[in-house]
Amino acid sequence: MLDKYTYGTVDRINPEAPVPILNVSYEKNTLGGAGNVAKNISSLNEKICLFGICGHDQFGNKIKELCNENNINYYLIDDGRPTIIKHRFVALGYNQQLLRVDYEKKHPIHNEYIPHIIKKLIEMDPKIIVISDYAKGFITKKLMDNLKKNCSGKILVDPKPSNANFYKNVYLVKPNLKETSEILNKNVKNNDEEVEKAGLKLVEIFNSNIVITRSHKGSTLITQEGDIYHIPTMAKEVHDVSGAGDTYIAVLSYALNNNYPLKEAVELANKGSSIVVGKLGTASITIEELFGRWYNDYQMYFFR
């Protein structure tokens, strides 16, 4: 999906209705949804291929253009629906989002596309497959069943509760606290005891490792073996949580692709999302931000 931002100043209220008037200063387009995950992974100097649905229209062309600019390969299906757009209107000076307008048509992809998707993935043979599920129709149970059957890579899922029955037996599922509550159909409070119980139940349901992200309280990892780790956040100042979950799973996939043990991978992902919430808008993280300025010297010394 395409994230479109219209920035402007607000100096007065509309005399026709009690709403602010936004005097437009500039506009910006960025990759949204799974595209933002791909952008984050690419900015960490990893090879990435983006799969999804993209309309044959000007906004679909913009997505492909942005993919090319960000060194993202793509395999995008046009099934006749228009490109999904999330258009946000933001007041400069206040860093305040005034309104979001969504353009989308949601329905499952036809089964005829699934063999082509699986064939492409088998050819690529990725070590990590990230499922960034926004319940727009690309992720279906049949697609997930075929992925698990035919692809050897570790599957990481950023879930949608409505599709919870798709994800059993993947490597890892990463719900936030709200999604955890919806999957379990109970209100899970943000304290260690309740999160631990909820996480152990999710391990049982999905037969997978579980990471529950907990906003200002960081995240909790519950492994398939029943080990539990609470990892605090590092965020000092929060400007915008848009895309923080995308950055989290992107950094997690980066770490696992580079053979980090699971706990250390989760710690690095926690750090990455703590950095990105300090930025305005749907943002991505760089390798230098994640590891510090010494990273370039490290690269020159060890990889020359």
Q: Which residue numbers are catalytic?
A: 246
Name the token pair of 56: 């044959």
Name the token pair of 140: 């279906």
Contact yes or no for 167/208 (Cβ under 8 A): yes
Q: CA-to-CA distance for 292 and 285, rounded, in angstroms?
A: 12
Q: CA-to-CA distance for 60 and 78, rounded, in angstroms?
A: 9
Size of the chain in residues:
304
Write the DSSP assignment of 1-33 as a string of letters: -EEEEEEEEEEEE-TTSSSEEEEEEEEEEEE-T
CA-to-CA dists, residue 122 to 54, 61, 109, 152, 166, angstroms: 22, 27, 20, 9, 20
